[in-house]
Structure 1
Amino acid sequence: PVGIPISKCERTLSYLPEALRVLSKIHLNEVYHGDPRVQNILLCKDKIRFCDFRDFDFAGIDNRIKAALDIEILLSSFEVKLNHELQGKIDQYAEDETERKIDELIAAITDKHQ
């Protein structure tokens, strides 16, 4: 097998920060997954890998919407409840898909779940 589905791992939520970073790197390559749920994430040699890019899309005129939707789908699949603050961080990331913005989003999620 290529890897272990993280949905079958203990403490699945602990993989969320790295999953967000990997998804952000995918976005930096102007690709949007379309369905980045827990079920489409594998753990391969201690690294996060997304699979099933069946619903992917390339960069276009609606990149902000695609980026925000990818993040919202991912968070929802990890059962993270979106509040006003998190939605604001998602919107900021979608406007500026940088490592700094994804780190700010991760910090907001980590603070919320401690």
Structure 2
Amino acid sequence: MYYFVLIDKDGFITQISKVQPQDHQDWQKILVPQNELSNFGSFFFSYRVVDNALLSPDNLPIMSLEDISNKVKDLETSKTNDSQNDLKQKNLNSQIQMAISELTVQIMQGGQK
């Protein structure tokens, strides 16, 4: 698939467009191989253009942004559940402490009769 790109002085891509921009004199038309399309759309700023050829970086993430987003959501859900469980445990501990205090008072009052 062809893209139009703007590059900086080092050849790194700074902007992309699927259609030819109006001010097309600074834009270069490059071919993005099919196997690079998903990474190119998300990480175009990591690619370079040298002699009108696209150079792909060696350090692209293995996980997609969607996978990372899903992992973050799972962690947030887990943390929320942990927080709710902690709160329930604190409430239970408080109830137990109150029951112990009440029993202590009853025992002490019973011993004074």
Provide the TM-score with structure 2 as the length reference: 0.27
Greater gyration radius: 2
By relative contact order (CA 8 Å, sep 6+), the higher-ranking structure is 1
Provide the TM-score with structure 1 as the length reference: 0.27
